[in-house]
Amino acid sequence: MRGRDDESVSFKAMTDRRPPRGNGPKRLQMADIARLAGVSTATVSRALNNSPLVTDETRTRIAELARSLNYTINVDAKNLRLRQNRTIAMVVPYDPAARQRVSDPFFLSMLGSVADVLTERGYALLLSRVDAADLQSAAQLYDSGRAVGVIVVGQWRQHAVLDALADRGVPLVVWGGQLPAQRYCTVGCDNVAGGDMATDHLLLSGRRRIAFFGDVELPEVALRRSGYRQALVRHGVAANPALELHASFLPDGARAAVDRLLASGEPFDAIFACSDVMAMTAIGALQERGLKVPQDVAVVGYDDVPMASYFHPPLTTIRQAIDAGGRALVDALLEQVDSGSIPASRIVATELVIRGSS
């Protein structure tokens, strides 16, 4: 969230500037006031709405500038958006490289949780997909008035874009990992603790050569690897880069990782995979190659999707509290819509669920 460091522009400097000339009369926009004032659109919005996040001096200066330019807030439009519109957009980004579909069990579980909570609160859900490389387009759902706020599932290597959306005042909450100095609100599980619990369980079970499968360019996965390494250090087991394998969320990402691991000749007796689908795919690949789970290789997944307990063998996994996560996402977003300020990020609990695969 932007602080007060962008508010030190003199009133004379603001009034010496003029809005851009077009090819005819054009209604002054809040973005024009922000440009003339040398502050963010979010700061102008807060100042004109008497937000306590803006100093009295800045609030007065921006109000005087708006008055000198005959700018007024369109109260009817604001009321229509904030009071009559009861729609929240949920964006599940599409990464062409990963091809993870909305039908992915984790996405379906999160979608169901958010939809249930919104229904309780009297809101409608608008589901949308955007290219993960073009996450700024998610703001169009808010800018167009189709939704009063946006929930994004995953950061998808777009941390800077999400910061920028928060800076311009888009009501936004992201399911993901909390990163240093981020300016948007995240809700997510304790990924470091989850990675630690999974690895600790395998180590306590006598496994010592534990492979890690995941795409660490994704913030949540990188945090899970941090927990994996943390547990190894605590147990006095040296980390082995050869056992850390990039595995995408492609349908065959884990299968390809198993093939590379076996071809390398590097001994291993366990796998910690960063999703349940990845873990189940890895188990299938191991079994096809004559290895028994858990006798030869123990496997732990992540998420605890519904099918995990019905798999053969039933999957040991790290349970994310999806119901609590969906509720926290909605709570944080509606708080932001109501107050205009970005709430603190929230972490939901993780839990080790031990089953037959380990």
The CATH number of 11-73 is 1.10.260.40
pLDDT at 16: 42
Per-residue pLDDT tens for 217-265? 888 999 999 999 999 999 999 999 999 999 988 778 999 999 999 999 9
Which phi and psi angles does 87 have, rounded to 5°? -120, 130
Please state, in angstroms and as integers, the Cα–Cα distance from residue 131 to each residue in 95, 138, 178, 237, following that order.
6, 9, 22, 40
Per-residue pLDDT tens for 267-320? 999 999 999 999 999 999 999 999 999 999 999 999 999 899 999 999 999 999
Look-up: residue for tokens 């087991």?
A: 237
Residue 190: alpha-carbon gap to chain centroid: 13
Query: What is the C-alpha to C-alpha distance for residues 153 and 174, in angstroms, rounded to an integer?
Result: 6
List the alpha helices (DSSP H) in 69-121: 75-79, 105-121
Do the beta carbons of residue 258 and residue 286 sit within 8 Å? yes
Q: How sure is the predictor about 12, in pLDDT bands with cuts at 50, 70 and 90? A: very low
Domain ranges of the chain: 11-73, 85-189+322-348, 191-320
Query: What is the C-alpha to C-alpha distance for residues 195 and 212, in angstroms, rounded to an integer?
Result: 10
Please, what is the average pLDDT of the chain?
A: 85
Query: What is the C-alpha to C-alpha distance for residues 356 and 298, in angstroms, rounded to an integer?
Result: 9
Task: Map residue 240 onto helix, strand or coil.
Answer: coil
Name the nearest CA neighbour of 337 among 162, 142, 140, 113: 142
85-189+322-348: same fold as 11-73?
no
Instruction: Work out the percent of the chain whose per-residue pLDDT is above 90.
Output: 53
Per-residue pLDDT tens for 146-159? 899 999 998 877 88
Decide yes or no: CATH 3.40.430.10 for domain 85-189+322-348.
no
The CATH number of 191-320 is 3.40.50.2300
User: Which H or E run includes 175?
Assistant: strand 172-175
Query: What is the C-alpha to C-alpha distance for residues 98 and 358, in angstroms, rounded to an integer?
Result: 27
Per-residue pLDDT tens for 35-49? 888 888 778 877 776
Per-residue pLDDT tens for 171-206? 999 998 888 888 999 999 999 999 999 999 999 999
pLDDT at 319: 96
Name the nearest CA neighbour of 268 among 303, 246, 244, 301: 244
Q: What is the mean pLDDT of residues 126-135?
A: 81
